Amino acid sequence: MQQLHPVIQKLFNKKGFDQKQIESFLSWDLKTIPNLAALKDMSKASKRIIEAIKLNQKIGVYGDYDVDGTTSCALLYHFFKMLGVEIDIVQPSRFIEGYGLHLSSIEEAVQKEIKVLITVDCGISNNEAADLALKLGLDLIITDHHKDARESMPAAFAVINPNRRDEDEQSEMKTLAGVAVAFALAVQIRTDLMTEGQTIPSLYPLLQFVAIGTICDLAHLSPVNLKLVRHGLKQLKETEYPGLRAFFTADELKAKTIPSEKLAFHIGPLINSKGRLDHPELALQLLIANNSERARECYDHLVNCNQERKFIQNEVFKEAREVVLRERKHLGFQKEHLISIVYQPHWHEGVIGIVASKLVDTFKTPAIIFTDSEHHGVIKASCRSAGSLDIFNLLKQNEHLFIKFGGHKAAAGLSMPKENLQEFIVNMNKLLSTIPAIERTRMEFYDLEIDPIEINPQLMRDLDRLEPFGMGNEKPIFKIKGVKLDSYNIMKEAHVRWNLSKEKTKLKGISFNYVGKYETTAPEDIFSTQNLKNEDLAVYFTLGLNRFNGNESIQLMVDRLEFGF
């Protein structure tokens, strides 16, 4: 293995990695991932799908409306297209049917004469729908990755879920996103067909969808997910899918690598935007588009939709933030703010998940945002965790108050009678008061203190080797102390460009949406305090590349500047 930049070596040393662990972390070897075929019901599901293909029976795919569900649908669409099989794809509306598999979905599938219905990224908690499918003679194959939390598992023909109750608790596959479970099913079907003597193209290109769904669903980047996503990112640079090509500029495709941030902050929000505001169909149409004209048409529509989503989201966030600030002021200094739980009947259901995440970023505590559902007297919420807190486990202890709930450790959703809200707030605060603050708050921290002279092209290349960044493999945050703020520029009334220096080394940095951020020091105050008091100043940042007119330069993505480090 080639010599690593000293900064990268220090990061691995801090994690306690020996040479073998470093090599394992950086590995791309797909042969070392767990056997995906070992998931329960995999063989049974594959055989039934192959039987349906041979008998010319209609196959349907039913997917969630978020990025994970949409990429799962697209992956299976392209897979069955490789087999020359046409499938029906159905996605529910967040606002009409809501999350999950519904009785009406089963009835609709039967009316369409679908004989095998495959769910992706949903179904594990939809026991009633599974019972109806059984009664009506529809073979239901559930592929999901959410926690198996009902009293019993759905009585489906097959349930493929690394988090089902009887799977190995220690299995690394428990971290798979829904799209990776769908990919595993495709791999099994291909294997079984090839055993019969058929020639099936490689499924390697489908890992592009696995990469997008895994990163954007915030799946934990375990060794198996790191490898799957790395290969998906590698292929995105030369993607032949018109719908995926639409997301990238010519400069981005010329770059050495596609960073995971492109997926998390650009591709994911665009795919999600449609499902947040009305129906996710156009996002799926983009991912399965068979020509660049159709892809561009769908992409432009998503861009417009995302602009609308941002506007609505900002309005809801401003209101929610004000509510939390009032509550914190009311608590005073005597009581700690343990969780942000806020409700307004008019808030747009499609953005409450993002607003919950933004409240966690702002106040460093878990957040639950409620709004009215489509049913009178029923409210629904999106929940987001902070720190290492298992929010799903806390909700589980309150499930007697809910009509339904589901999710995982970091994020969940629920609906409940509005009259239960006050009791729920009291219960959650009581539970959180027994948990150490370090487990339930997002701490301000940094990974490593470095010297400006250590920032060079080799460091950037070696940082790329740590990709993908995301849940469980966060991008390293660096600190440089003793810097001087030479000047700054405010752009579009929100972003700040920083010109910093330490001794003779000049550093350029940028902070997006910095102005007006909660508990941040205004640039002018930093500048004047530094000049008046001559206090020591430290900068906390990640590293990024600024691309302009075909040129690349290293820049600091500044999180915060602090005195008295």
Give the residue from 44, 201, 198 showing the smallest Cα distance to 118: 44
Question: Rounded to whole angstroms, what are the CA distances from 141 to 102, 123, 176?
Answer: 14, 9, 18
DSSP 476: P
DSSP annotation of 38 reads G
Residue 157: band (very low, low, confident or very high) from pLDDT cuts 50, 70, 90: very high
Ranges of H-type helices in 441-515: 457-465
Stretch 107-115: mean pLDDT: 97
pLDDT value at position 512?
94
Expressed in angstroms, the distance from the first to the final Cα of the chain is 37
Pick 552 or 417 by higher pLDDT: 417
Retrieve residue 475's tokens: 């991008």
Residue pair 539/491 in contact by the 8 Å Cβ criterion: no
Rg, the chain, Cα only? 25
The predicted structure's pLDDT at residue 443:
80
Bridge partners of 548, per DSSP, are: 551
Domains of the chain: 33-303 (3.90.1640.30), 336-440 (3.10.310.30), 448-563 (2.40.50.460)
> If you average pLDDT over residues 448-459, what whole number do you get?
96
Q: What is the DSSP string of 399-435?
A: GGG-SEEEE-SSEEEEEEEGGGHHHHHHHHHHHHTTS
Pairing assessment for the beta strands 367-372 and 378-384 based on DSSP bridges: antiparallel
When the pLDDT of each residue in the chain is averaged and rounded to a whole number, the result is 94
DSSP 325-376: HHHHHHHTTTS----EEEE-TTS-GGGHHHHHHHHHHHHSS-EEEEEE-SST
* pLDDT band at 333; cut points 50, 70, 90: low
Q: Is the pLDDT of residue 42 over 80?
A: yes
Name beta bridge partners: 448: 478
User: Residue 334 above 70 pLDDT?
Assistant: no
Among the ranges given (277-286, 341-350, 545-554), the one the predictor scored with the smallest mean pLDDT: 545-554
**Mean pLDDT, residues 182-198:** 98
* Lowest-pLDDT choice from 435-439, 478-482, 497-501, 533-537: 533-537
Whether 275 has a pLDDT exceeding 90, the answer reads: no
Task: Give the up-direction half-sphere exposure of residue 306: CA atoms within 13 A in the CB hemisphere.
Answer: 16
Structure tokens at 284: 């799926």
**Residue 279 pLDDT > 80, yes or no?**
no
pLDDT in tens, 356-399: 999 999 999 999 999 999 899 999 999 999 989 999 999 999 99
Sign of CA dihedral 232, 236, 238, 241: positive
Give dist(CA 316, CA 306) in Å, integer: 15
Q: Given a cut of 90, is residue 520 above it in pLDDT?
A: no
Average pLDDT estimate for 509-523: 91
The answer to whether residue 445 scores a pLDDT higher than 90 is no
The residues, any chain, with a CB within 8 Å of residue 6's CB and separated by 6 or more, are: 454
Q: How much is the pTM?
A: 0.90
Does the pLDDT of residue 178 top 80, yes or no? Answer: yes
Asked whether the beta carbons of 39 and 87 are under 8 A apart, the reply is no
For range 517-544, the mean pLDDT: 89
Are 142 and 158 in contact, with CB atoms under 8 Å apart? yes
